Amino acid sequence: MSDLTVDQIKKMREEYLLPSTMTYFEKPLNIVRGQMQYVYDDTGRKYLDGFSAVVTISVGHCHPEIVPKIQRQVAELQHMTTLYYHPTIVKYAKKMAEMAGGDRPGKPANLRVSFFTNSGCEANELAAMLAKNHTKQQEFIALRHSFHGRTLMAMTLTGQSSWRHSMPYVFGVTHAPAAYCYRCPLKLKYPSCGVACASQVEDIIKYNTSGHIAGFFGEPIAGFGGVIHPPKEYFPIVHSIVKKHGGVYISDEVQTGFGRTGKHFFGISHWGVKPDIVTMAKGIGNGLPLGGILTTRAIADSMRGKVHFNTYGGNPVSMAGGLAVLDVIERHRMIENADTVGSFLKARLSKLMNRHPLIGDVRGLGLMLGVELVKDRKTKEVAPKETLRLMELCKDRGLLIGKGGMAGNVVRIKPPMCINRKDADFIADVLDESLGALEKETRVKKPRARARRR
Ligand SMILES: Cc1ncc(COP(=O)(O)O)c(C=O)c1O
């Protein structure tokens, strides 16, 4: 139900909201209801949410095992400061340490201590502060194509001009090339490249910093950057360079966190790297404003004697919701589902390359998938207008998808982890049909040769 029409909302947004608020689609959607993998607009039309409200709904909209727990907490105690005790915050921190941290195989070792925020950028700000406190250094390495949020430090860490404003950034952040193999920044080819982009991190530390760093920030898979992930050697090499120079390794798991990439709780575990701090938000709250960090006891101890406070961080409602999300992930084996359904969907998307010349690359892990659109596979000329049009055509067929990448030419498919194979088929079928319609519109020739497979 909506008591305002799309046109009324449009007018009111123009009058009352900052004009930097963006929308998708020629006629923006007025989404008024959500149920697991589906959302409904004000006319009652159903859509499969293939973008999880920007990778935020991890286990399903209004999940029936989560909502009652949040409602119970709201009715009992909506807010209490961490100046007083409340049981839920410690229960949540303990459960997270057990599920995400610990020394068990595949788990990032020793990540046991949490602090909760409302958002990912606050988590990244805190991680930077922890790294500075711990190392007594000031400088950071981040990656090109990265996104870390909109506060000043987070924006400074972000490696995309479209997400930066011209302003005095925080001192001491240098960006290293990302391992974007489809468009190698060094114009090399994997594996003969020897993963040269990873060693560039060492050169940058040598030439652009004092030689000592506080830390390194990296997303295991760059989300807004266009679902960019490196070859398996990249992050282990970077990790060893960061450690050699005394830095703290920070894995920004705001999009990858809590199982979205399949197999592992955190995305970084795919690369066998044990980070010193992970930052989290989005999916961990499944729609509640919940972020945080998880770190080692040694790094946490650098905060002894210092006050850090976040009014709503650790709020009982967010904690009850977060705890319920962890329960659902565990009980419904969501991580395995992200892996199996994600692999199935990726295989189907890869097959679409044989039929649709617009697809230049299909990549990603689990349910964090990207399809890069190009006007020509040889020149790899980016196709941002076609990407926007494809999103529109998919929406008309009942599927919501997102976009990313420096040129906005990467379709981002990141549905809630509760989807099944039927949903994956639906996503692939709608993309197939919509790409066909788009190609008719743009009269792109079909490829003669069979497309490359990854
Ligand atoms: C990887 C990553 N880090 C940090 C952030 C910032 O999170 P928030 O918008 O909750 O501040 C985002 C947001 O999209 C993100 O994708």
Best residue among 148, 266, 410, 412 to mutate for probing ligand 1's pocket (most ligand atoms within 8 Å of CB) is: 148
Contact criterion met (CB below 8 Å) for 349 and 371? yes
Q: Give the angle subtended at the CA of 383 by the CAs of 26 and 424, to the nearest 5°.
A: 75
C-alpha of residue 375 to centroid of ligand 1, in Å: 30
pLDDT at position 110:
86
Nearest CA to ligand 1 atom 14: 149
Average pLDDT (128-136) is 98
H helices then E strands: how many in the chain? 13, 16
Least confident stretch, 20-24, 75-79, 225-229, 239-243: 20-24
pLDDT at position 160:
96
Nearest CA to ligand 1 atom 4: 148
| Confidence grade of residue 360 (pLDDT, cut at 50, 70, 90) | very high
pLDDT at position 167:
84
Mean predicted lDDT score pLDDT of the chain? 94
Which residues have C-beta within 8 Å of that of residue 119, sequence separation ≥ 6? 149, 281, 289, 291
Phi, psi of 360 (to 5 degrees): -95, -30
Of the chain, the percentage scoring pLDDT greater than 90 comes to 90
pLDDT at position 108:
62
Give the integer Cα–Cα distance in Å for 42 and 330: 34
C-alpha of residue 220 to centroid of ligand 1, in Å: 13
Contact criterion met (CB below 8 Å) for 408 and 388? yes
Question: How long a stretch of residues is the chain?
Answer: 454
Whole-angstrom CA distances from 87 to 94, 296, 320, 326, 375 are 11, 22, 10, 16, 56
What is the DSSP code (8-state) at residue 266?
S
pTM for the complete prediction? 0.95
Which residues have C-beta within 8 Å of that of residue 382, sequence separation ≥ 6? 373, 374, 375, 405, 407, 409
Contact criterion met (CB below 8 Å) for 113 and 297? yes
Name the nearest CA neighbour of 290 among 301, 279, 277: 279
> Tens digits of per-residue pLDDT, 82-128?
999 999 999 999 999 998 865 455 566 689 999 999 999 999 999 99
Of the chain, the percentage scoring pLDDT greater than 70 comes to 96
Ligand 1 contacts (CB < 6 A) are: 119-121, 124, 147-149, 219, 223-224, 252, 254-255, 281, 291
> Beta strand 173-176 with 215-218: parallel, antiparallel or unpaired?
unpaired
DSSP per residue, 380-410: TEE-HHHHHHHHHHHHHTTEE-EEESTTS-E
| Confidence grade of residue 353 (pLDDT, cut at 50, 70, 90) | very high
C-alpha of residue 280 to centroid of ligand 1, in Å: 8
C-alpha of residue 153 to centroid of ligand 1, in Å: 12
pLDDT at position 109:
62
pLDDT at position 447:
55
Average pLDDT (192-209) is 97
Instruction: Say yes or no to pLDDT of 454 above 50.
Output: no
Average pLDDT (437-444) is 85
Average pLDDT (347-364) is 98
What is the DSSP code (8-state) at residue 170?
P
pLDDT at position 1:
76
DSSP per residue, 14-77: HHHS-TT----SSS---EEEEEBTEEEETT--EEEETTHHHHT-SS-BT-TTTHHHHHHHHHH-
> Beta strand 399-400 with 46-49: parallel, antiparallel or unpaired?
parallel
pLDDT at position 436:
97
DSSP per residue, 198-219: HHHHHHHHHHHS-S--SEEEE-
pLDDT at position 21:
82
> Tens digits of per-residue pLDDT, 154-189?
999 999 999 999 888 999 999 999 999 999 999 999
pLDDT at position 251:
98
Atom of ligand 1 nearest to the CA of 281: 10
C-alpha of residue 121 to centroid of ligand 1, in Å: 6
Tell me the domains of the chain and their CATH numbers.
Answer: 6-59+334-442 (3.90.1150.10), 68-331 (3.40.640.10)
> Tens digits of per-residue pLDDT, 374-398?
999 999 999 999 999 999 999 999 9
Contact criterion met (CB below 8 Å) for 210 and 178? no
Nearest CA to ligand 1 atom 7: 120
